[in-house]
Amino acid sequence: MQAQLVLLPGDGIGPEVAAEARKVLAAVAALYGHQFAFEEKIMGGIAIDELGDPLPDGTLAACREADAVLLGAVGGPKWDDPTAKTRPEAGLLTLRSELGLFANLRPVKANRNLLGASPLRSDLVDGVDILFFRELTGGIYFGPSGVSDDGREAYSTMVYSVEEIERIVRLAAEAARGRSGRLTSVDKANVLEVSRLWRRVAARVMQEEFPDVAYDVVLADAMAMHLLARPRDFDVVVTGNMFGDLLTDEASMLPGSLGLLPSASLGDPGPGLYEPIHGSAPDIAGKGIANPLAMILATAMALRHSLNLAAEAAAVESAVDAVLDDGLRTVDIAAGRPHVTTGVMGDAVAAALA
């Protein structure tokens, strides 16, 4: 097949891990006879520096025309001035909104070779395989917000519509139906009216459309505790924007490193956006020690969800498992043992595909 892929290397370690993702995708194309056309565009802090805009018009236009978009990372202390008119992260929020990317998928899966890297006991982490669905374009991050004239008060409003809740719950339920048939919805209905709407709508969708899927509801604060005490009890989890942001960051530590976890943001129609969940890590940028596996696994999600290449996606995931089975480690997962560079890890995954 032919596919147009836009690469947004971004800031910090973003360009380093994006280069390894491109390397692996080129290996996939060669092995399976596909033609992937790559187009690199600037976004984030580098785009602010060069063009004064974290999401230039040319970048957005290219993303609209792509089959999939791959993002390295954006942001860093250089652009953290609170008085600045715009910040790198604003470009990411705008891109999600403009592409209609309402569903953020974050798989959290423990690798048996890396159980010792988790801050939790191995017996708690072994077997963890959770797929989070975070609603991405509604909620408190997109509701009305502002500051009073005297600067003494500020507000941010959490708003959800019935339609926004229905579409994310349906996606999560479909995924649960294809896995173990279990879905957990997370809200704060004991205190928030918007969560009460979420709970009513989610319950109706599940009862009317997915009666074959086991369904339960957990309060957000309780879920934060359960993820540490009994993470294996959860399969597919769906929640709103803010709760999803916090809970997936917490869950990301179960496997032991942010460098292992990918993320997909999907809409309908249009291209998906694929990225590692880690940040730009400017403290290690340029040192060649960043872990590229999350970015590489994000390419597997792009192959599966945007390009409909399930076999190729599984091959990339198996290649990652193979290099970890062989003992290769970047510094973040080496636990003091010998480690390899970003480039060597990417080379090893690409070679494992052959």
Residue 268 and residue 303 in contact, taking contact as beta carbons nearer than 8 Å? no
Q: Which among 80, 212, 233, 249 is annotated as catalytic?
A: 249
**Is 149 noted as a catalytic residue in this protein?**
no
Please tell me which residue in 188, 274, 332, 347 is annotated as part of the active site.
188
Kindly name the residue from 126, 129, 235, 245 that is annotated as catalytic: 245
Question: Which residue in the list 80, 212, 216, 221 is annotated as catalytic?
Answer: 221
Neighbouring C-alpha atoms within 13 Å toward the C-beta of 34: 22
**How many angstroms separate the CA atoms of 348 and 324, rounded?**
10
Whether 245 is a known active-site residue: answer yes
Cα–Cα distance between 221 and 233 in angstroms, integer?
16
Q: Of 23, 126, 129, 141, which one is the catalytic site residue?
A: 141
Amino acid at 238: V
Compute, in degrees rounded to 10, the torsion defined by CA atoms 32, 36, 40, 44: -70
215 included as an active-site residue: no
How long is the chain?
354
Q: What are phi and psi of 103, to 5 degrees?
A: -125, 120
Q: What is the residue whose two structure tokens read 């872990």?
A: 291
Classify 19 as helix, strand or coil: helix
268 carries an active-site annotation = no
141 catalytic residue (yes or no): yes
Catalytic residues: 141, 188, 221, 245, 249
